[in-house]
Amino acid sequence: MKKLSILFLAISLLCVTLIAGRAEGVVRVYNWEDYISPESLELFEKETGIKVDYMRFTTNEDMMVQVRTSPGAFDIVFPSDYCVERLISEGLLEELDYSKIPNAIHTSDWLKDPSYDPKGVHSVPYMWGTVGILYDKTRVNGPIDSWGVLFSDEYAGEVFMLDSIRDTMGLALQYLGYSVNTREPNELMEATKLLIDQKTNRIVKAYQVDETKDKMVAGEAILAVMWSGDAQYSISLNDNLAYSVPKEGSNVWVDCFIIPKSSENKENAYKFIDFMCRPEIAQMNCEYIEYSSPNDAAIELMGDEYINNPTMNPSQEVIDRCEFFHDINDFLPTYNTLWAQVKNAK
């Protein structure tokens, strides 16, 4: 009986050891759909022996619900800047130990102290981009350097707008000389009226998101509000297309690596971030996704074709006239009401 008890204890300890081994051998990653090179994940698994349990989300809002309600489910998450800000305020993010992420040294200087996460205490940039105007060079009349072209009768019925509250309201605000993060009622009402007039004057062809890039390739409109990575995709398929960040300014956004406080595999999470910040891996992901890399060493590896591409690698002057979105969760009902007025306008 004693021998059986000892045997049972030994088997139990072995099971615990195996379970612990499995826990140490996994990293649970929660990322946007189609937002990382599959080859980079395979290389990480091969080099480290750590299995990547890869899960996907389609909106920041869905992601934040899961992070809040599923503690321990994720080790790495890829939120956008304003969501990083919100998750920090809710106390859900780990303060990062940069001694475990030596490759983070390659992060571009202008992203090392972002306003949404001062000093990068909780986040490391993964990809970034701008919002601007994709246009058909063969069908425009004059330079496309202002948001004003989107409100001109000259392009009536030839404008695709983003079906996105912050992006579309933001560009209207900046055209009028205001901040994308304003809470001033008069400024918001002025931007709302501008967008309503644009719609009722039949300038807007449609409010869209993902489908716009293929429709612009097919020549279905002259102008489209678009994220820079989608613009680059379209340009690569149609030489008549070009991209501009208007002179009034725009939104510059960043998607980040973060580690939830509830992560059960923090050491593996650090290894994952450091691996993805390795220059040749950051290059691989940038070339796969076609958004902008925050990794200076990866940019050097990509050479002149990338460095001289203003869509992928805008100048510091362009970046300096752009703003990050900040978290306005407590003010969203106001934005939602105004956006409904725009969308329901006849």
Looking at the fold, whether 212 and 149 belong to one and the same domain comes out as: yes
Q: Which residue stretches of the chain are H helix?
A: 2-24, 38-48, 60-69, 81-89, 165-175, 185-200, 212-217, 228-237, 266-276, 279-289, 296-307, 316-320, 332-344
- Of 186, 164, 160, nearest to 173 by C-alpha is 186
C-beta neighbour count of 130 within 10 angstroms: 24
Can you give the pLDDT at residue 58?
A: 86
Residue type at 137 in one-letter notation: K
**Per-residue pLDDT tens over the stretch 227-236:** 999 999 999 9
State percent of the chain over pLDDT 90. 89
CATH number at residue 151: 3.40.190.10
Distances (CA, A) of 39 to 10, 50, 160, 280: 40, 15, 34, 12
Looking at the fold, whether 217 and 264 belong to one and the same domain comes out as: no
Looking at the fold, whether 31 and 139 belong to one and the same domain comes out as: no
Looking at the fold, whether 224 and 271 belong to one and the same domain comes out as: no
- To 10 degrees, what angle do helices 279-289 and 38-48 make? 150
Average pLDDT over residues 221-228: 97
Looking at the fold, whether 242 and 303 belong to one and the same domain comes out as: no
**Per-residue pLDDT tens over the stretch 254-290:** 999 999 999 999 999 999 999 999 999 999 999 999 9
Can you give the pLDDT at residue 6?
A: 37
**Per-residue pLDDT tens over the stretch 306-319:** 999 999 999 999 99
Looking at the fold, whether 83 and 218 belong to one and the same domain comes out as: no
Looking at the fold, whether 117 and 134 belong to one and the same domain comes out as: no
155 is in which domain, residue-wise?
129-252+322-344
Looking at the fold, whether 334 and 227 belong to one and the same domain comes out as: yes
Looking at the fold, whether 141 and 203 belong to one and the same domain comes out as: yes
Looking at the fold, whether 259 and 119 belong to one and the same domain comes out as: yes
The whole-model pTM stands at 0.86
User: How many domains are contained in the chain?
Assistant: 2
Looking at the fold, whether 97 and 159 belong to one and the same domain comes out as: no
Least confident of 74-78, 214-218, 330-334: 330-334
Q: Please, are residues 181 and 245 in contact by the beta-carbon 8 Å criterion?
A: no
Looking at the fold, whether 157 and 281 belong to one and the same domain comes out as: no
